[in-house]
Structure 1
């Protein structure tokens, strides 16, 4: 608990007083391409070794923590795996544990984080990116890993995007489908099995049927009258 307030101050200093070598490394980068061949701004991975500008053996606790916060800020900004969690564990511990980590384990942990990041770029990648990433992993040095993430990845990706076939619109896809005219059951040459007759045709048939029924009824009445007169 005694480090709660100083830690906040150290974090603020880490943001406000960046190390000069780290700032010098960030140059204006030409835009690159992502895995979908869309133009994006390149992510710049810093050389964390250049942040270590103090004598780790002679540094006091405040200096050690300030350095650790600077490295943590860089690792978070680059979305590096593994390293942020390890740093936070040591920052919550003693000064001796933090000093030991910065002296012995920092570089190995950072290398592991860079290797994982390189491996992630192979997902959904083209042949050139996969080949360049595998070559970098086989080399395994920090310099090779940083060179790939900052430059080699975008060069290989540009080659894959240039070799990718350009999609062309399909003639069948652009042609508007033409609806086939339905054959009417009463039309010449029409096929059977159509829908029943409705509408005006149905009304005409019903009218004719009603007229025939009416004529039949009138004839029946007239016939009965004639029959009755004959009998009488």
Structure 2
């Protein structure tokens, strides 16, 4: 079981050793299922990653290849395949060799499942393109759809969606003052209080006289009336005597 010792080194080498030149692809932006621009996921050809003779390769070479395939399967989010490779890495070298000889078929199945997943909730163009590929199965057709056909069909579906119209802001009506409302000004201390039928005489129109001042004025007026009456009576008596 000496092959377990350099397992960490094999994992590091799986990422350091470059893949085949054809696998180094530059992804251009595309649309996701929400019609948002994202970086495309590039699906590589696993057949080009197998660069060793599986019949004569030693255990280290087999494990290094398995780790490279595992890293790529995880990067592409392929279903089933990552778990299968991890299980074979835990087994014997013979089991790993036998699995790697059949990995092309397992990889094609994972691609087919991935294509079926793109149809969930997709538009009519994506569903039609995916179904066409599934009806004519081949690894080349699977890769062409996942790397290009999917994004082309999705762009058509996104373009056919109606453009949402911006909602108009809701205005709250403001209360307008009533035409019949009357504003009553406050009474200032300097306002004059008029006497009914009079013009509220006096400069500044002072307040009416009340209290003890009123009694004094009334008394003087009464006295004047009495004096006037007495003078009138005396004057008539003197006049009658003079005439007589």
Gaps in structure 2 of 5+ consecutive residues = 181-244
What are the within-5 Å matches in structure 2 for residues 158-197 of structure 1? 158-170=155-167, 173-178=168-173
CA contact (8 A) 2:3 2:59 kept: no
Shift of 1:3: 3.3
Which of 81, 84, 105 is equivalent to 2:82?
84
Which of 144, 153, 156 is equivalent to 1:147?
144
Looking at structure 2, the residues matched to 77 and 150 of structure 1 have their Cα atoms a distance apart, in angstroms, of 14
Give runs of ≥4 in structure 1 deviating > 4 Å.
none
* Counterpart residue number, 2:214: none
* Counterpart residue number, 2:61: 63
Spell out, residue by residue over 1:40-69, the C-alpha distance to the aligned partner (whole angstroms, 9 max, x if none).
111101101101111111111111111111
Spell out, residue by residue over 1:128-150, the C-alpha distance to the aligned partner (whole angstroms, 9 max, x if none).
01111111111221111111110
Gaps in structure 1 of 5+ consecutive residues = 189-232
Larger radius of gyration: 2
Shift of 1:177: 4.0
* Counterpart residue number, 1:6: 6
* Counterpart residue number, 2:34: 36
CA contact (8 A) 1:111 1:142 kept: yes
Looking at structure 2, the residues matched to 180 and 152 of structure 1 have their Cα atoms a distance apart, in angstroms, of 60
* Counterpart residue number, 1:218: none
Spell out, residue by residue over 1:159-205, the C-alpha distance to the aligned partner (whole angstroms, 9 max, x if none).
111111101124xx533243789x9xxxx9xxxxxxxxxxxxxxxxx
Shift of 1:93: 0.7
CA contact (8 A) 1:26 1:44 kept: no
* Counterpart residue number, 1:73: 71
More helix by share: 1
Looking at structure 1, the residues matched to 49 and 31 of structure 2 have their Cα atoms a distance apart, in angstroms, of 29
How many equivalent residue pairs?
A: 181
* Counterpart residue number, 1:128: 125
Q: Structure 2-normalised TM-score?
A: 0.68
